[in-house]
């Protein structure tokens, strides 16, 4: 059976609960206090970090979502790359992974096999152990991974520790949700779709292998909250950021699609949450939507001292990683993000 074109496009990180609602949900939950819990959910970071000994900690994370492409094998690769990314965003190495599966009882199991094949290949590419998993029947297909990584406790990258004057670097282009939605509606080309899915299935492992050689102040991966939302977390209510729109990495067809009002539900949730925190000094709806667009398996957002930014970007680009230096951390202003 030809398994291509067997899934419904309805998810990816576009399916995440919006940042405002999520913050309200977590606010009143009891906080876990333990001297070995180095990073927990109270900091809205990418993963939990638990110290085992002075020179070793484990990273724990999980991520799963509904399908955003119709090809099961491709969906498996993208979902796995997205889940593995949280470990890389913390600066760690992936140790093992477990499959998380929801699959309709009446659906052909050969489709699930293709999803799992794609996920398994990405875990193998990460150099990790796929150790099993858990599956349930559900009305819609969902897939992802629970991932365990390792890290030196003194070398953890957190998502909210940028410093004044840092330059901001993003390692993948923006616009993947706009492209996948537009492609499913036959409004965006297959060429653009292939570029976007190739980006989504690319592990952030390769960027992190370069990044960890530099004095990074803060790092996160850009996923469902969009670049604007994840940069908001990085600034941590201490700073503002100047974003140079001409330096943003993005897919040209996503930009054109946004100008033609190819929009996503997740993008609108992100806009609603961030609209009072951002000031656009340009009149460009396409750029606005790119900043709010939910990224599935997006790039690493890195905050690095100004004197390290140029050489880091050059090294990343020399490794065929399309990184760009797009902004700078500045003193706190009336608005958090200033886009010129």
C-alpha gyration radius of the chain: 19
Which run of H or E residues covers position 207? helix 205-211
Whole-angstrom distance, CA of residue 209 vs CA of residue 206: 5
Q: pLDDT band for 35, please (50, 70, 90 cuts).
A: confident
H or E stretch at 122: helix 109-125
pLDDT band at 19 (very low <50, low <70, confident <90, very high): low
Binding-site residues for Mg(2+), in ranges, read 46, 86, 221
**Tokens (6 digits) for 241:** 């950021």
Burial of 31 (0-12, 13-18, 19+ CB in 10 A): exposed
Band the pLDDT of 47: cuts 50, 70, 90: confident
**Strands 218-221, 93-103: parallel, antiparallel or unpaired by DSSP?**
unpaired
CATH number of the domain at 12-155, out of 3.40.640.10, 3.30.1330.10, 3.30.1300.10, 3.30.9.40?
3.30.1330.10
Are the CB atoms for 177 and 14 separated by under 8 Å?
yes
Which residues are bridge partners to 310 per DSSP? none
Give 197-240 pLDDT, tens digit per residue: 999 999 999 999 999 999 999 999 999 999 999 999 999 999 99
Cα distance between residue 310 and residue 324, in whole Å: 9
**Measured CA distances, 301 to 34, 67, 98, 149 (Å):** 29, 24, 26, 20
Binding residues: 16, 43-46, 63, 86, 133-135, 221
| Per-residue pLDDT, 5 | 40
What is the model's pLDDT at position 287?
A: 97
Q: Cα separation of 139 and 107, whole Å?
A: 10
pLDDT recorded at residue 33 = 75
> Which position among 10, 13, 162, 219 bears the catalytic label?
13
**Which of 38-42, 68-72, 300-304 shows the lowest per-residue confidence on average (mean pLDDT)?**
38-42
Does the domain formed by 167-339 have CATH 3.90.650.10? yes
219 is catalytic: no
Instruction: Give the residue numbers of the binding site for ATP.
Output: 16, 43-45, 63, 86, 133-135
Mean pLDDT of the chain: 91
Q: For the residues 81-95, what does the mean pLDDT come to?
A: 96
Instruction: Assess contact for 325 and 244: CB atoms under 8 A.
Output: no
For the chain, give every domain's residue range.
12-155, 167-339
The first and second tokens of residue 310, run together, are 């140029």
Average pLDDT over residues 306-310: 98
Token pair listed for 48: 């939990």
For residue 173, give Cα distances in angstroms to 122, 129, 192, 226, 300: 20, 29, 12, 12, 10
Task: Give first-to-last CA distance, the chain, whole Å.
Answer: 51
């Amino acid at each position: 059976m030809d398994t291509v074109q067997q899934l419904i496009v309805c998810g990816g990180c576009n399916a995440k609960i919006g940042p405002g609602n999520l913050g309200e949900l977590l606010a009143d939950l009891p906080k876990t206090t333990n001297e070995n819990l180095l990073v927990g959910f109270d900091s809205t970071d990418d993963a939990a970090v638990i110290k085992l000994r002075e020179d070793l900690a484990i990273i724990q994370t999980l991520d799963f979502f509904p399908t955003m492409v119709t090809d099961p094998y491709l969906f498996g690769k993208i979902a796995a790359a997205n889940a593995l990314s949280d470990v890389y965003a913390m600066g760690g190495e992936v140790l093992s992974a477990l499959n998380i599966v929801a699959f309709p009882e009446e659906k052909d199991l050969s489709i699930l096999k293709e999803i799992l094949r794609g996920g398994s290949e990405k875990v193998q590419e990460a150099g990790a152990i796929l150790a099993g998993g858990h599956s349930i029947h559900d009305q819609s297909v969902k897939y992802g991974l629970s991932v365990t990584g390792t890290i030196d406790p003194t070398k953890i990258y957190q998502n909210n520790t940028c410093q004044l004057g840092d330059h901001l670097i993003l390692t993948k282009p923006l616009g993947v949700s706009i492209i996948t939605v537009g492609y499913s509606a036959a409004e965006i080309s297959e060429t653009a779709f292939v570029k976007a899915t190739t980006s989504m299935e690319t592990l952030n492992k390769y960027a992190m292998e370069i990044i960890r050689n530099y004095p990074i102040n803060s790092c996160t991966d850009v996923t469902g909250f969009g670049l604007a939302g994840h940069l908001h977390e990085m600034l941590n209510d201490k700073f503002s950021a100047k974003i140079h729109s001409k330096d943003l990495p993005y897919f040209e067809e996503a930009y054109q699609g946004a100008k033609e009002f190819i929009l996503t539900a997740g993008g609108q949730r992100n806009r609603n949450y961030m609209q009072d925190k951002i000031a656009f000094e340009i009149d460009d709806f396409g750029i606005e939507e790119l900043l709010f667009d939910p990224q599935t398996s997006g790039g690493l957002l890195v905050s690095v001292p100004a004197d390290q930014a140029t050489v880091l970007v050059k090294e990343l680009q020399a490794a065929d990683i399309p990184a760009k230096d797009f902004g700078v951390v500045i003193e706190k202003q009336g608005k958090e993000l200033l886009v010129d």
